[in-house]
Structure 1
């Protein structure tokens, strides 16, 4: 199948098209009658992020999703860095059909030569081709650098020759964010049924079309867009015309054990009611009711077999006055009076279709809220939760969700996991039992604004908040291929936080946000050597990634683009990781490139640095060049198996060790105002600034690790780990090289047993940090990657995944 799609793309280059059509933009081929239009800005990121998202993974269990995915199989073989529009619609037989359009560049496709069933077609002066394999066909053509494809030849012909101006659709799509993970436009005539669990608020009658951008991470979907209906009251969204949204406050009274709520706000109820009467085709002068004279919000709280209506009063005394004839006390509960209400159908008739409850025979008053229901048990539940402060507004998961929503909305719906499941099953004609238990609150809102409404939605997992001294797995991200190297944190100059960079075995480099979103992927020509460095090439606060592969030096910007004149290509192999030094912290970077025994020096613009006079070492360097500054002196350290070069900035000898040794491949560190490293036979070597050498015999084997700060030394040999003289005998295993982290003057030491897949983290006294070990299959990187004060670390998980943990 893979070869089939590569081959059909190859065919595009083998025939030319003759067309009288003047369509020359990909949005000219948006099908105005499509049920859905999917806009993909970055195909590779789209595939990775949707694969990793938990909510979308749950949707993939449904038949509808599987049918759509089947139609989208061609995306698995398309290697495009251009925007793609995909139109979905149902034909007269109720089968899913699709078409797509994208710009094509010769360099973005991998081409194969598999034999296919190819049939040239002539479609009203358009040269096209039908390509078939395993009874799956696609019809394609090319016009002025644009590929247009369709699952049906008649539709392809229609798409190319149609004179219909899809102005309204194109206007909405023009509002989509080109940086979003993906965007969607939904036509009201589509099979999509419901945004609300109130079935009277069906999508077809609510609006004419909806578009939104999706920001996606492993545990979250954030949707932002807008909806617009023609200037009439045939669409329910237009009942908010000439009103202004207010603060949504129903969360303050909605029990957290409910199924959710619907809140409707406005600045003038009379305006809303006039619009609503017109929508319902009722006489607007009939049946005024003083109960609604001083309200700014009404809504409904949903329970499994019941609901309650709430009105939020601006003047509770005036609203109470309107209920003066409704003072028959049914009972008193927790010092709150519950009254009988003589007009039980008021809300279902007066506020239709927003309110479902058709029998509101009881009510109570809680501060500025008046709550109506058909039984006292529902009211008692609301009273208890309101008094105990166990409503939605007091829950961490609701407060977290609110950060992605507007405080004021014309309509706000919040759902619990069960209601979310029912809504999804309704739209997908499904009975699937989704794993939504962690989706404590899902919200959508519409904020009316002149002649359109903003749309926002939050669908997110809210995993249980762990107590102090616990470790939380934040996310688990799967890559397209197995992980090649150890993931590491890098600074994000925009957010002042940290992201994650990692490479897979196809040599694709990934940048992943600290929320688990794959920001970009970059195909490299080889594996990254060692650690990725960061530089500020233009001295403007914007950081770039700098690193070496065996044949190239790369500098990539924040978006994964190559910064000129990089990459620099080398004929001879680069044998050590790129070393980047900034001697005076003035962002005058020096890039040291090691090729065996030779060291080449460049500045941040890729130019050779003049005046660096080091010719060559006596043998190949066995560790990367190192820069150490002690006091006001700079030292460049080059090390081979039998010689240690301690040089000045110009490459001239500054310190000559007075003893010749056979050195290990461990780096040289600054330690006690001098230099420290090890010999091949495991002895610790210290050299002062005059070249005096001190050798300390140890029990280290020839396979050992040394790490230091300026005052602290750790060593590791086999299952023995020594931290500042505290010797730890770990269980026998296969341990990664110990790492030393100095964070806010605190020392942490980490190693991972690859045999038992356990990550261990110790303090400076050799004490295991609480709740370690945890699962992991590589070394870690440790740091504070977000806005809180807690540390996080990243490690490999399964062969194709990385894990990020938070230490609480």
Structure 2
């Protein structure tokens, strides 16, 4: 319901100004005037204080790139149309414009039920003016109507709206909403002796609010779970309950720039809130951003100055916040706490990377930095069960091992950490990568060794200029690269709405949120940045080749996937191999059931050969082909027996090669017409495959 209401917000704001004189007899003059905050029910999820609404609308509607991107979505396009009408109306009436130029407006988001919320609009009234001009204005933009059912309330139905907007005027305030329930709550709040300002945490953050800003945003964390539950998939809903114990209130000053929105202020945790665990932790530089790949879609990063004290505090936090009905134990095991302390972690990053793998888990990674890396490596290896002892990939003496993730980390940060079971890990200096897909882990190392990390991405560098260099908690969301995960993060209707808004979302570089310890109050910063040029990753794809592969192709490394005719020795390379022929395009990761690592590379050469290379750089086989393939090799289980074959096409033929390098009969099959591009392969539920081949 909230999404359906958004398009009428601007129209409501026009009406707020227009209706200040409609109350017959101006009875509000005989009542004590109260500040708008007094009418906000204390269960508000969030509220926005706008200082001079007309000025903010003008700034958004004029030449704001962020707003232009949002307008490409259907919801914000409707809002923009009404804002344009609002600006025209305000400029045609000097009194109206002055009201919106100088008075305070509060837009409050309040729960209507356990899973729904809607807006409450509260406007501070000036000395009233002509009733006739108000009625003329209302009749122009909507139909005024009385509500017998909701006695004491008046209503207006805006043109194009399906339901009336209700309101009342009292104590020098105009209060309106589409939900009568919210107005009833507001009346009760005005009659109550306690207001939002009596909340100690709210009062504390409100004292930090900036004056010369476009607006002030307040967020009440204990009220967020119910609101977010209505948008999110069932898999994420339990985790949102922890937001009740994240902090109490945030106050953020909004400053609007042409290409970015900046919000900065303070957050107040109290009692057993999670954020309070970082109270004595100095903010730090998140060095792991130099390690995670530039195709990172989103991440949550944590920095620890004193991990031992954090680990002890975290166990106390679990004890105080875990409900009595919870089935999981309240505390971490003593052995888990001790292992974590011995590892003495300084950073943790949990990220999703847009690799194209089929599941969210396969696209997830955990990166930790340890101040005692040798000890952490020994402890990780000691947790490897006998069944996984042989599952070790050795690449030039460097080992990628499979472990049970939960055996070491237990329930530590369980609402942030992915639900990993078996993962592969790789140590690089003081950093440890954890990933359930060894293929993805190879790709992560490739990105690092070739410098293709998030911190080196020009788009991210430009985005990060609006953020602090140090923080305790840093959350990042790249709107374009996260589109692939929307159906995991959001319910079907929300995800479908986001899918339709893809064009607008791709114009926004990202959203960043940081918390930094500052005694009792935590400095909080949010940046939303417009993308000033096409995405760097997309430019690389459009270029049609690997960024480091412009010079030619002969030497291959599975981790760097660098190939060149004359490549110098690279001391960072895990291995190198020389193949017979010039490599075309790039090597392709494939499954390999006969090899110990279960994965390999296939490369195609200009002299019409297909070559399989294992994870240690050993050439397994090389076979001649009739023609040069047009694209990647697909791993398929053609006979449905767990054994892998490789399917690919050339201009005139479709090939199927088994794990031994033998052609499967009756392949190669001549295509009925020449192909213009590589095939696409989709595996059906019954194990069959559907092949799409573009032809002339």
Task: Report what 1:452 is aligned to.
Answer: 521
After the TM superposition, which residues 509-520 of structure 1 pair with which residues of structure 2 at under 5 Å, given as runs?
A: none
3-state secondary structure, aligned to 1:180: coil
CA distance 1:320–1:110, change in 2 (3 Å): farther
Whether contact under 8 Å (1:447, 1:455) holds in the other structure is: yes
Task: Report what 2:154 is aligned to.
Answer: 130
Task: Report what 2:414 is aligned to.
Answer: 352
After the TM superposition, which residues 695-710 of structure 1 pair with which residues of structure 2 at under 5 Å, given as runs?
A: none
Task: Report what 1:143 is aligned to.
Answer: 171
The alpha carbon displacement at 1:466 in A equals 11
* 1:219 is aligned to 2:259: yes
After the TM superposition, which residues 201-220 of structure 1 pair with which residues of structure 2 at under 5 Å, given as runs?
A: 201-202=239-240, 203-220=243-260
Whether contact under 8 Å (1:420, 1:442) holds in the other structure is: no
Q: 1:246 & 1:99 partners in 2: Cα distance?
A: 40
Q: 1:458 & 1:58 partners in 2: Cα distance?
A: 16
Flag structure 2 segments of 5+ consecutive residues without an equivalent: 1-10, 91-95, 320-329, 537-696
Q: 1:108 & 1:398 partners in 2: Cα distance?
A: 54
Equivalent residue in structure 2 for 1:98, among 96, 120, 124: 120
After the TM superposition, which residues 163-202 of structure 1 pair with which residues of structure 2 at under 5 Å, given as runs?
A: 163-166=193-196, 167-168=198-199, 169-188=202-221, 189-190=223-224, 191-193=226-228, 199=236, 201-202=239-240
Q: In the TM superposition, what whole-angstrom CA distance separates every residue of 1:71-96 from its partner, at most 9, and x where no partner exists?
A: 99989765312221122324359573
Q: 1:87 & 1:14 partners in 2: Cα distance?
A: 28
Flag structure 1 segments of 5+ consecutive residues without an equivalent: 468-808
Whether contact under 8 Å (2:49, 2:216) holds in the other structure is: yes
Structure 1 or 2: larger helix share? 2
Equivalent residue in structure 1 for 2:436, among 343, 350, 374: 374
Whether contact under 8 Å (1:207, 1:237) holds in the other structure is: yes
Task: Report what 1:160 is aligned to.
Answer: 190
After the TM superposition, which residues 637-786 of structure 1 pair with which residues of structure 2 at under 5 Å, given as runs?
A: none
The alpha carbon displacement at 1:389 in A equals 0.8
Q: 2:347 & 2:430 partners in 1: Cα distance?
A: 11
Q: 2:131 & 2:461 partners in 1: Cα distance?
A: 46
Equivalent residue in structure 2 for 1:286, among 319, 334, 339: 334
Whether contact under 8 Å (2:283, 2:472) holds in the other structure is: yes
CA distance 1:67–1:241, change in 2 (3 Å): farther
Structure 1 or 2: larger strand share? 1
After the TM superposition, which residues 486-635 of structure 1 pair with which residues of structure 2 at under 5 Å, given as runs?
A: none
Task: Report what 2:456 is aligned to.
Answer: 394
CA distance 1:316–1:132, change in 2 (3 Å): closer
Where relative contact order (Cα < 8 A, 6+ residues apart) is larger, the structure is 2
Q: Which of the pair has more CA radius of gyration?
A: 1
The alpha carbon displacement at 1:252 in A equals 0.8
CA distance 1:342–1:160, change in 2 (3 Å): closer
CA distance 1:380–1:92, change in 2 (3 Å): closer
Whether contact under 8 Å (1:438, 1:461) holds in the other structure is: yes
Equivalent residue in structure 2 for 1:43, among 31, 41, 53: 53
CA distance 1:443–1:109, change in 2 (3 Å): farther
**Structure 1 ranges of 4+ moved more than 6 A:** 1-6, 60-76, 106-110, 118-121, 194-198, 326-329
Task: Report what 2:35 is aligned to.
Answer: 25
The alpha carbon displacement at 1:216 in A equals 2.4
CA RMSD between the two structures: 4.3
3-state secondary structure, aligned to 1:399: helix
Whether contact under 8 Å (1:345, 1:360) holds in the other structure is: no
Q: In the TM superposition, what whole-angstrom CA distance separates every residue of 1:595-654 from its partner, at most 9, and x where no partner exists?
A: xxxxxxxxxxxxxxxxxxxxxxxxxxxxxxxxxxxxxxxxxxxxxxxxxxxxxxxxxxxx
After the TM superposition, which residues 244-259 of structure 1 pair with which residues of structure 2 at under 5 Å, given as runs?
A: 244-259=282-297
Task: Report what 1:88 is aligned to.
Answer: 109
CA distance 1:267–1:261, change in 2 (3 Å): same
Whether contact under 8 Å (2:49, 2:215) holds in the other structure is: yes
